[in-house]
A and B are shown apart, each in its own frame.
Chain A
Amino acid sequence: EAQVTQNPRYLITVTGKKLTVTCSQNMNHEYMSWYRQDPGLGLRQIYYSMNVEVTDKGDVPEGYKVSRKEKRNFPLILESPSPNQTSLYFCASSLMGLGGYTFGSGTRLTVV
């Protein structure tokens, strides 16, 4: 089944403890992207990647890192999480960006 898989689905962590949210797609898509969704603010893009080793900032990149060492994987790294990064995170992938994205099921992160 064609899908984007995110892990974990739920995560509660403490301020300052480094964490990684994994994202993997099995559709051989070139484009991958991370979003956060907050009430009243909608979906905001954190980072995106157009190919292996090619990444760029979205609208809210501060406090996040990404890497694209392989085509199928695009992990989101929070080096020192803070409470304002408590949010619902989505990973998405697309064959060519313009054609639309397949989204993962989301990761609900709480930083205390």
Chain B
Amino acid sequence: TQLLEQSPQFLSIQEGENLTVYCNSSSVFSSLQWYRQEPGEGPVLLVTVVTGGEVKKLKRLTFQFGDARKDSSLHITAAQPGDTGLYLCAGVSATDSWGKLQFGAGTQVVVTP
């Protein structure tokens, strides 16, 4: 059983459309991180959120951390083919050591021209 549940597992959209990926848990997190991974490569950090209710923007990407620090979302506006990839959320539980980072299963996003 994964500590972090991501939905949907797969998302296929046309260029220019918006999309949202969700990351949910019953646990409270000290830190929630979002990564993007290309096939055969290591995940690349997009953002870290640590404060409940926090919203961070990275160009067309908006990240939100739930007020209770149990969930997060990633919203992409006007998606482009370059946004294609596996999006992973990862978290450090508030009851765990800071070194224990656990990942969700990921959301595969495909953006077609």
Q: Which residues of chain A have a CB within 8 Å of any CB of chain B?
A: 4, 31, 33, 35, 42-45, 48-50, 56, 58-59, 88, 90, 92, 96-106, 108
Contact = CB atoms under 8 A, between A and B. Distances in A.
A101 B45 contact: yes
Q: How large is the interface on B (under 10, 10 to 19, 20 to 34, 35 or more residues)?
A: 20 to 34
A44 B97 CA distance: 16
Is chain A's interface secondary structure helix, strand, loop, or mixed overall? strand
B45 A97 contact: no
Given A43-B103, A48-B99, A56-B97, A90 B42 contact: yes
Contact of B102 (A4, A56, A59, A90): A59
Interface of B: 2, 30-31, 33, 35, 40-45, 47-48, 50, 88, 90, 92, 97-106
Given A96-B98, A99-B48, A106 B103 contact: no
A98 B51 CA distance: 12
